[in-house]
Amino acid sequence: MSELIQKNENRDFRWKLLTQASATVLMSYISVIPAAKAQDDDKPTVWIELGGQLSRWENSQEPYAPPFAALTPSNLSPPQVSEKPPRYGVDESTSLIFQPKDSDWTLSASIRYGRSGNSKKVHQQSNPDNYTAYVKIHRSRNGRVRDFKNYYTKYPLSPRFVDVAAKQSESHTLLDFQAGKDLGIGLFGRNASSTLDVGVRFAQFTSKSRIKLRENPDWQFKTHITTFHTSWTYTSSHYSLQRTIKNVYQPFHSFAGSFLASRSFNGLGPSISWNSSEPVSGSSGGGSLTVDWGLNASLLFGRQKANVQHQTTGRFHSTYAAGTSLPITYQRPATLDRVRSHSVVVPNIGGFAGFSVKYPNAKVSFGYKADFFFGAMDGGIDVRRTEDIGFHGPYASVSIGLGG
């Protein structure tokens, strides 16, 4: 009888323990649901991102090299060295991201604008020394000789020089409209995130160049010796005279060239991007540090244009001696404007890598970003020559979350 009572008591105790445990779990679950729902409700639905980037431009357009540039003296740099387009610029970007509540879809719109430019004025010259010339007179009278020698200085009419004035500017604008889905997984862990976005990208590139060149490449002193001799007899005396003159003259060319170019590309096409984020430390409720990376690609259908005009003039100073001949001037007529327009398809690829410090309603990001567009610009002068465009460099951005 006592054994039966003991068994019943043990069974009642187990049931009480199980009931209390179940009630505890149920209460905990009920208390967690509002907290999780409150956290989701507090999640921002709109993000505004402001960013900037120091970009290095990759743009190799044909340099302006008129024929006289080949005559540049070896001790002076050719003018093409000073005509290089700008290499660095500043980009500014703004993004707006909307994510509805209880949804893993996002809608985003962004604009990125970059510009760069330079203005160079370079003057190089070699200053020649003065040249000393002479006149010699040898005179005799009945065998008695007298010599005279007179020296005089010739000053250079012009030094050898290269003068370049170049002003160039470039800009680019990118517009992106995308819809994306958070896949909820990353590459290295359950807590990572990965988003796939598809949409449309619009790109616009412009480039302007204005270059003026002046050059005197081949100035030099040249000499020519002339000799005059005569003799005569007068009143039983015999005279003779010999005069030797070292003549100095300065033949040289002076050239001038001008160049104007305006180039552009406008294109629109489908785009796709993949962005991933991997937590390193911290928690989603407080501050956390994440490693970010991503890839993007698009295919742009558009039109590239180029409007180029250049002109060369020259003047040849053929003076044999002062006042003996006039300079000869010649001029090449201004070329007709090279106006070209072509429909093109431009592939675009890019990517970024960096890290972010995230808070529930804010994010600060740093990293390195690159974008390349293949065959986007017509960089030729007299004939079409397609060139790639690219810009890459470090970036920083600040994001603020609103709503929730």
At 284, the pLDDT band (50, 70, 90 cuts) reads low
The DSSP element (H or E) to which 154 belongs, if any, is: strand 144-154
% helix, strand, coil for the chain, step of 5: 15, 65, 20
Q: Tokens at residue 28, please?
A: 């905990």
How far apart (Å, rounded) are the C-alpha atoms in residues 228 and 152?
19
Whole-number average pLDDT of the chain: 82
Higher pLDDT, 278 or 31: 278
CB-count exposure of residue 296 (10 Å: 0-12, 13-18, 19+) = buried
Q: Which amino acid is at 261?
A: A
CA-CA-CA-CA torsion sign (172, 182, 398, 289):
negative
Q: Which residues contact 300 (CB under 8 A, 6 or more apart)?
A: 201, 203, 267, 268, 269, 345, 346, 347, 348, 373, 376
CA–CA distance, 191 with 204 (Å, rounded to integer):
38
Secondary structure E strands in 283-324? 288-317
- Based on its alpha-carbon atoms, the radius of gyration of the chain, rounded to whole angstroms, reads 41
- pLDDT tens digits, residue range 360-369? 889 999 999 9
What pLDDT score does 291 carry?
A: 93
pLDDT in tens, 27-38: 443 343 343 344
Please state the rounded mean pLDDT for residues 71-87: 86
Distance of CA 321 to the CA centre of its chain: 51
Angle in degrees, CA 276, 279, 282, rounded to 5:
150
Residue 240 CA to residue 29 CA, distance in Å, equals 133
CA 398 to chain centre: 25
Q: What pLDDT is recorded for position 327? A: 54
Is pLDDT of 266 > 70?
Answer: yes
Residue 156: the pLDDT is: 83
Task: Return the C-alpha torsion angle 140, 143, 144, 146, nearest 10.
Answer: 30
- Confidence check: pLDDT of 271 > 80: yes
Lowest-confidence range among 10-24, 137-151, 387-401? 10-24
pLDDT given for residue 61 in this prediction: 85
Number of H helices, E strands in the chain: 1, 15
Instruction: Please report the pLDDT score of residue 131 as a whole number.
Output: 86
Cα 232 off chain centre by? 80
Span 148-162, average pLDDT: 85
CB 225 within 8 A of CB 194: no
**Which of 199, 172, 219 is closest to 317 using CA atoms?**
219
Q: Could you tell me which residues come within 8 angstroms of residue 109 by beta carbon, excluding any fewer than 6 positions away?
A: 95, 96, 175, 176, 177, 178
DSSP string, 74-121: TTS--GGGGGPPP-EEEEEEEEEEE--TT-SEEEEEEEEEEEEEEEEE
Report residue 333's pLDDT band, with 50, 70 and 90 as the boundaries: low
**% of the chain surpassing 90 pLDDT:** 41
Residue written as token pair 């785009």: 271
pTM of the model: 0.75
Alpha helices (H) in 148-190, listed in sequence order: none
Q: Quick one: tokens of 140?
A: 């005799």
Q: What is the DSSP letter of 381?
A: S
Report the pLDDT value the prediction gives residue 199, as an integer from 0 to 100.
96
